[in-house]
Amino acid sequence: MTLLDVEAVRHAYDEAVFDDVSLSLEAGETLAIIGPSGVGKTTLLRLLALFERPDAGTVSYGGRDAWAVPESRRLAMRRSVGMVFQEASLFDASARRNAEYGLRVRQSWPERLKRSAAELVGRTNGTGEAAMEALDVVGLDGKATQNARSLSGGEAQRVAFARALAYDPDVLLLDEPTSDLDPRNTAVLERAIDEARKRGIGIAIATHDMHQAERIADRVAVLLGKEIIEIGPTKRLFEEPRDERTRKFIEGELVY
């Protein structure tokens, strides 16, 4: 099932970032977006997350153009998307409270009131159960009560991932989530990404680490020269790229 569909997107700040970008994301798929630093990978994820509106083209969820529907409907689309940034930004609270945050802010006021009432009479564990499950996925359930700001950098990034995973999004966007992490924390997060994929979540990850793309991605998109020059199954793209620029980039040549 196609969760996200991008068609002929153009976007510019002082100058064009993208001239023509098209891609799709399926349920239970991991799509890696690779390209040199500064090519616009983060900007592309922000467009997918509906943080920014493209100058032209469409970003569609569930077959509907996100910028052609009422704001209430677009808000519902945003609530179905989780994003993890390159640097974790956590609150001065426990790891569990941080993991609960996404669940709380994405509820409507009626949902929040209903859940709060249920918690008071003990009919449900509320957001806590989902948060603990997400912390377990990233191997931090044993540190649920520890202040998140006392965790290591790698552990903090794992909490940020748990926060996005806890509310069970349809789409998960990851912006270089392991770029500053040691091998152990990287391995834990890659296992968590695989777990999210198995749950049917569609995952798009921007990464400069081509070995990581080979390890975890079902498909790879190559972003160069203000467009996606090639997109395809991971093994085929790395072993038999169809665009000469893709081959040069994979082999470490400077390509813009």
Q: Where are the chain's structural domains?
A: 1-80+170-256, 90-168
Q: Which CATH superfamily is domain 1-80+170-256 in?
A: P-loop containing nucleotide triphosphate hydrolases (3.40.50.300)
- Ordered per-residue pLDDT tens for the chain, 256 residues: 899 999 999 999 877 788 889 999 999 999 999 998 888 999 999 999 999 999 999 999 999 999 999 999 999 999 999 999 988 889 899 999 999 987 776 654 344 444 444 444 444 445 678 899 999 999 999 999 999 999 999 999 999 999 999 988 999 999 999 988 999 999 999 999 999 999 999 999 999 899 999 999 999 999 998 899 999 999 999 999 999 999 999 998 866 6
φ and ψ at residue 65, rounded to 5 degrees: -60, 120
**Helix residue ranges, H only, 80-182:** 95-105, 109-120, 127-137, 153-166
Assessment of whether the complete model's pTM goes beyond 0.95: no
Residue with tokens 């493209």: 54
| Sign of the alpha-carbon dihedral angle for 240, 242, 247, 249 | negative
